[in-house]
């Protein structure tokens, strides 16, 4: 830009000095000094320049500033014309630093000739400050533009880092914490759409793990308690027999019978626990085969009839459809057994139990309904939890482990089915199971 502006200035100056040369040649040749002086002063004012006319030896004849007459100017632009025979010459210089600031000037010369050759020289000097200050202004605005764009890029970079990098590092931090076993971590769902989704998924995962962890702890504590109770009872009974020398053999026998019952209980609990653990194993394969679900329900109800007859209950079985099924029959046997067993267990003398099986579309719908004790509203949401029993003492007495319904639930889920419960305290309960006839 600077070069361009200087070149432009040089062209203008050359044009001016040549125009001047044409104007003053005759005056100079005629040695009309007063007129020459006037002309130089007029042009000097017009161009805002210092003008001189030199003779052919380089000696100043007229100076528009009226200062240098008689001096010999030993500068390149003059000698270019005198010695090298140029028609004109140009130079730009930094001179006389004033106030520590460089002063830039240009010097431009043109020859004055007649038919005998070089007679004199016109010299034109003016300040280049206007060009320089224009360039400085330009430089300042370029610099300003640079700083503004640097600032804008910085703001953009910060903005992008806040929506990309920061959420990722928060997430990494969360994952590290979780890796150390802290499942309570949740991260802020911020940033771009993908990272927001990732954070939300992470939060869901950590919540699930937290729930899993707490239900596992609950399970272990429940299981230990469930195993400890019969052991404590057995210890008391055994110690009575051991330390009471004069114990009535009848009572001792009774105690031994009780101990035997507690052992049975322990067996039930351990068996149910093992079933549950095996169901927890996600890689579990259902042992599917074709069978009639109707026949299966029928045969279980037949076995349960003995028990319900003891309580003088009315067990009504209604099979609408055979419901040919491709499923794991031994698992479904446990499902039906647990539901009917509960109905008989939690229904009093002379109660009625309805077992109904029908087919809707590709689904077998089994309903087990009783008019027994019912389940209070507040307990309904928990009855599928492991070891959950509404009335602990009563369930224990009847040999329940509190694991039956959670086993039922797991087995139905494995088959891709559903289970619902409707119940009202002191009125009765209905469990409805929906099972797909074929594997999906």
Residues within window 341-370 making contact with Mg ion, judged by CB under 5 A: 342
d(CA 313, CA 344): 8
CB of 272 vs Mg ion, minimal distance in Å: 9
Stretch that binds Mg ion, among 215-223, 325-333, 338-346, 430-438 (CB under 5 A): 338-346
CB-CB contact of 415 with 436 (8 Å):
yes
* Sign of the dihedral defined by the CA atoms of residues 129, 132, 134, 139, in that order: negative
d(CA 112, CA 119): 6
Q: Which residues contact 101 (CB under 8 A, 6 or more apart)?
A: none
CB of 395 vs Mg ion, minimal distance in Å: 8
User: Which of 402, 412, 419, 435 is the binder for ligand ADP (CB under 6 A)?
Assistant: 402
CB of 287 vs ligand ADP, minimal distance in Å: 23
* 372 binds Mg ion, rule: CB under 5 A: no
Q: Which residues contact 7 (CB under 8 A, 6 or more apart)?
A: none
Size of the site for Mg ion (CB under 5 A): 3
CB of 243 vs Mg ion, minimal distance in Å: 37
d(CA 1, CA 412): 84
* 167 binds Mg ion, rule: CB under 5 A: no
Residue that the structure tokens 């929906």 belong to:
434
Residue 434, token pair as written in the block: 């929906």
CB of 400 vs Mg ion, minimal distance in Å: 5
Strands 88-98 vs 363-370: parallel, antiparallel or unpaired: unpaired
CB of 294 vs ligand ADP, minimal distance in Å: 22
* 401 binds ligand ADP, rule: CB under 6 A: yes
* 402 binds Mg ion, rule: CB under 5 A: no
Nearer to ligand ADP, 104 or 388 (CB): 388
User: Which of 167, 404, 417, 428 is the binder for Mg ion (CB under 5 A)?
Assistant: 404
Stretch that binds Mg ion, among 39-47, 70-78, 336-344, 372-380 (CB under 5 A): 336-344
d(CA 173, CA 182): 12
Nearer to Mg ion, 28 or 387 (CB): 387
Nearer to Mg ion, 230 or 400 (CB): 400
d(CA 275, CA 404): 10
d(CA 389, CA 387): 6
Stretch that binds Mg ion, among 227-235, 359-367, 398-406, 425-433 (CB under 5 A): 398-406
Residue 170, token pair as written in the block: 């928060």
User: Which of 187, 343, 357, 366 is the binder for ligand ADP (CB under 6 A)?
Assistant: 343
* 9 binds ligand ADP, rule: CB under 6 A: no
Give the number of other CB atoms < 10 A from CB of residue 121. 30
Residue 368, token pair as written in the block: 């087990």
Please name every residue paired with 364 in a beta bridge, in sequence order, or none if there are none. Answer: 359, 435
d(CA 173, CA 170): 5
* 230 binds ligand ADP, rule: CB under 6 A: no
Residues within window 321-340 making contact with ligand ADP, judged by CB under 6 A: 338
* 429 binds ligand ADP, rule: CB under 6 A: yes
User: Which of 25, 296, 346, 412 is the binder for ligand ADP (CB under 6 A)?
Assistant: 346
Nearer to Mg ion, 325 or 407 (CB): 407
Please name every residue paired with 52 in a beta bridge, in sequence order, or none if there are none. Answer: 63, 123
Choose the contact partner of 373 out of Mg ion, ligand ADP, none; CB within 5 to 8 A by kind: ligand ADP
Nearer to ligand ADP, 320 or 424 (CB): 424
What distances in angstroms separate CA 429 from CA 145, 152, 309, 370, 388, one per listed residue?
A: 80, 70, 19, 5, 17
User: Which of 16, 106, 125, 373 is the binder for ligand ADP (CB under 6 A)?
Assistant: 373
CB-CB contact of 119 with 112 (8 Å):
yes
Query: Which spans of this chain sit near ligand ADP (rule: CB under 6 A)?
Result: 338, 342-343, 346, 370, 372-375, 383, 388-391, 395, 400-405, 429
């Amino acid at each position: 830009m600077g070069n361009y502006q200087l070149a432009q200035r040089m062209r203008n100056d050359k044009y001016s000095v040549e125009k001047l040369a044409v104007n003053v040649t005759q005056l100079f040749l005629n040695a009309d000094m007063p007129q020459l002086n006037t002309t130089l002063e007029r042009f000097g004012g017009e161009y805002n320049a210092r003008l001189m006319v030199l003779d052919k030896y380089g000696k100043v004849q007229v100076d528009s500033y009226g200062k240098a007459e008689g001096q010999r100017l030993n500068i390149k632009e003059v000698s270019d014309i005198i010695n090298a025979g140029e028609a004109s010459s140009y130079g730009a210089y930094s001179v006389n630093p004033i106030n520590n600031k460089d002063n830039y000037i240009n010097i431009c010369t043109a020859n004055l000739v007649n038919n005998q050759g070089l007679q004199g020289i016109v010299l034109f000097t003016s300040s280049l400050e206007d060009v320089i200050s224009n360039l400085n202004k330009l430089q300042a605005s370029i610099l300003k533009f640079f700083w503004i764009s640097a600032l804008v890029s910085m703001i953009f970079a910060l903005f992008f880092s806040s929506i990309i990098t920061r959420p990722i590092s928060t997430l990494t931090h969360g994952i590290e914490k979780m890796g150390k076993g802290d499942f309570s971590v949740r991260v802020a769902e911020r940033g771009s759409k993908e990272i927001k989704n990732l954070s939300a998924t992470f939060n869901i995962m950590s919540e699930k793990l937290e729930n899993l962890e707490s239900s596992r702890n609950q399970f272990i504590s429940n299981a230990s308690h469930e195993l400890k109770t019969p052991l404590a009872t057995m210890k008391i009974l055994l110690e009575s027999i051991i330390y009471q020398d004069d114990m009535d053999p009848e009572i001792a026998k009774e105690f031994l019978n009780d101990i035997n019952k507690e052992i049975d209980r322990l067996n039930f609990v351990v068996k149910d626990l093992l079933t549950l653990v095996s169901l927890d194993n996600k890689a579990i394969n259902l042992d599917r085969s074709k069978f009639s679900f109707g026949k299966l329900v029928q045969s279980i109800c037949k076995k349960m009839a003995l028990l319900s007859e003891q309580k003088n209950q009315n067990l009504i079985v209604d099979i609408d459809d055979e419901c040919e099924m491709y499923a794991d029959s031994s698992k479904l046997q446990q499902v039906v057994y647990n539901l009917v067993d509960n109905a008989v267990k939690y229904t009093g003398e002379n109660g009625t139990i309805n077992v109904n099986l029908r087919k809707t579309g590709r689904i077998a719908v089994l309903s087990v309904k009783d008019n027994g004790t019912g389940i209070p509203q507040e307990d309904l949401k928990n009855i599928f939890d492991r070891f959950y029993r509404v009335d602990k003492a009563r369930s224990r007495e009847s040999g329940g482990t509190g694991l039956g319904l959670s086993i039922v639930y797991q087995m139905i889920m494995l088959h891709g089915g559903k289970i619902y419960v409707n119940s009202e305290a002191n009125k009765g309960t209905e469990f409805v199971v929906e099972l797909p006839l074929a594997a999906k």
